[in-house]
Amino acid sequence: MQIHLEPEILFFLFGIPISNSFVLAWLAGGILIGGGFYLVRSLKPIPGKFQSTIEVFVEGSIEFMSQTLGGNRKQAMQFFPLVAAFFLFILLNNWLGILPGVGSIGFFQEYHGEQVLKPIFRGANSDLNTTLALALISVVGAQIYGMKKLGFFTQASKYIVLNKGPVFLFVGLLELVGELAKVLSFSFRLFGNIFAGKVLLVVALALVPFLAPVPFYGLELFIGFIQAFIFAMLTLVFLKIATEGHAEEH
């Protein structure tokens, strides 16, 4: 086995490269979509234990978000679908990425004169393409929410200030650069933590294949949850900032 920063291309579909991380990302998405349809179709007026558990989780999440937003429950309910989708998708991908067989089941191919394993599955968040896409959705989504609440020109005036002198113009451009920097910091933070965990597990399995990696699996489960939580909470903060007017910001 070899550790590669870039994902391995398995095949091409209509000219589009399908990587092993792409496969696992779609698997996670299918599980979440299928689970969502199942929950909607199985809702009952008198909830059972499973439905009650889901309702407690949703209500608790909205209440937590409301407290984070300063008690604004209406805004918390508005942001909940996007924030919850980020949390569940990232968490599921993080946990799927450490399942036995992910990164170790595949086929061999020649690489610089050696036979190396080409895994069929790879954790989606250990691919920078995935984390970059998530970061773009988060940052652009925050701006869309801001435009929806404040209007296009009001939102744009946060970054392009033409009528208040060169100082305000420069400050606005700095704000715009800061928004672009969020994409890089967001994507590299998630990618770096998940990829480092993958490397740690591979090294531990190579040195002591049996009992030694067990504590690391527990650590990766915890880190996977924390990274999903951090990404979701930072997205919530970005949404809050993007939907505030100039007077509220200052």
- Residue 88 scores a pLDDT above 90: yes
Measured at the alpha carbon of residue 207, what is the angle toward residues 201 and 210, in degrees to the nearest 5? 75
Q: Phi and psi for 5 in degrees, rounded to 5?
A: -65, -40
Surface-to-core class of residue 112, CB atoms within 10 Å of its CB (0-12 exposed, 13-18 middle, 19+ buried) = exposed
Residue 174's pLDDT is 85
Q: Is 59 domain-assigned?
A: yes
pLDDT band with cut points at 50, 70 and 90 for residue 66: very high
Q: Is 187 domain-assigned?
A: yes
Q: Is 2 domain-assigned?
A: no
The pTM of this model reads: 0.86
- Residue 113 scores a pLDDT above 70: no
Q: Is 22 domain-assigned?
A: yes
- Residue 139 scores a pLDDT above 80: yes
Q: How many CB atoms lie within 10 A of CB 134?
A: 24
Q: Is 171 domain-assigned?
A: yes
Torsion of CA 218, 201, 191, 231, to 10 degrees: 0
Note whether 223 and 197 are within 8 A (CB). Answer: yes
Higher pLDDT, residue 205 or 239: 239
Domain count, the chain: 1
Q: Is 3 domain-assigned?
A: no
Residue 110's pLDDT is 66
Residues 154 and 147: their CA atoms lie apart, in Å, by 8
Mean pLDDT score of the chain, rounded to an integer? 84
What integer is the mean pLDDT of 9-20? 86
Of the candidates 215, 64, 239, 67, which has an alpha carbon nearest to the alpha carbon of residue 142?
239
Q: Is 174 domain-assigned?
A: yes
Residue 55's domain spans which residues? 9-249
pLDDT band with cut points at 50, 70 and 90 for residue 247: very low
Higher pLDDT, residue 69 or 207: 69
Q: Name the amino acid, one letter, at 94.
A: N
Note whether 21 and 127 are within 8 A (CB). Answer: yes
Q: Is 4 domain-assigned?
A: no
Residue 232's pLDDT is 94
- Residue 72 scores a pLDDT above 90: no
What integer is the mean pLDDT of 162-166? 74
Residue 43's pLDDT is 82
Residue 250's pLDDT is 45
Per-residue b/e over 149-169, b at no fewer than 16 CB within 10 Å?
ebeeeebbbbbebeeeeeeee
> Highest-confidence range of 20-24, 29-33, 164-168, 214-218, by mean pLDDT?
29-33
Could you give the percent of the chain with pLDDT greater than 70? Answer: 90
Residue 196's pLDDT is 83
Lowest mean pLDDT among 108-122, 128-142, 168-182: 108-122
What integer is the mean pLDDT of 6-17? 84
- Residue 219 scores a pLDDT above 70: yes
Place of tokens 């191919």: 109
